[in-house]
């Protein structure tokens, strides 16, 4: 059977294509118990950056993730668009997370994107882009009300 133009056959996948699919699978449902699933994606010299932190090296990255996911009840991603060339991956996503201190444990939805650079089948650069205020500050009880009021006033 010949693959449709939309679907690539396994032999048509580049290392970056294959890694992009592995990243999506590993991040589908993150928890403190399955962080080892994502550890295999990264090169020893990984540089990771998001709106709140930047870390260098796999031990620092895994420590950061362990700390971030320690109190999360649930975290998952829905991927929308993925653009891949020989070594780079850009993907847009929606993250859904539940944390007992954010919105009383209800699901928080955050839109974002990731830019990955790959080398020898591993990610050596990972930069996440998302609105930290939307994820964090707007979902803290008192501070969230103040920020939402400010945003409403700015929108008038």
Hey, where are the domains in the chain? 10-130
Q: pLDDT higher for 50 or 140?
A: 50
Q: What pLDDT, in 10s, does the model give residues 67-76?
A: 888 878 888 8
What pLDDT is stored for residue 54 in this prediction?
96
CATH class of segment(s) 10-130 = alpha beta
Distance between CA atoms of residues 127 and 50, nearest Å: 6
Q: What pLDDT, in 10s, does the model give residues 136-150?
A: 555 565 555 666 676
The four Cα atoms 124, 32, 74, 113 give a dihedral, to 10 degrees, of -10
> Taking the model in full, what pTM does it have?
0.78
Closest CA to 41 of 28, 50, 52, 54: 28
What pLDDT is stored for residue 35 in this prediction?
83
């Amino acid at each position: 059977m010949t693959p449709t133009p939309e679907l690539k056959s396994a032999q048509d996948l580049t290392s970056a294509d294959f890694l992009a699919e592995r990243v999506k699978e590993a991040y589908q449902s993150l928890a403190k118990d399955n962080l080892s699933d994502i550890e295999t994606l990264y090169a020893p010299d990984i540089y990771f950056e998001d709106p709140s932190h930047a870390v260098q090296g796999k031990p620092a990255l895994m420590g950061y993730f362990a700390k971030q996911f320690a109190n999360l009840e649930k975290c998952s991603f829905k991927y929308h668009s993925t653009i891949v060339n020989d070594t780079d991956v850009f993907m847009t996503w929606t993250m859904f997370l539940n944390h007992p201190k954010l919105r009383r444990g209800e699901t928080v939805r955050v839109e974002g994107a990731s830019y990955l650079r790959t080398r020898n089948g591993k990610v050596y650069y990972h930069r996440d882009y998302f609105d930290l205020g939307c994820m964090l500050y707007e979902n803290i009880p008192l501070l969230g009300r103040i920020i939402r009021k400010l945003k409403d006033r700015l929108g008038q």
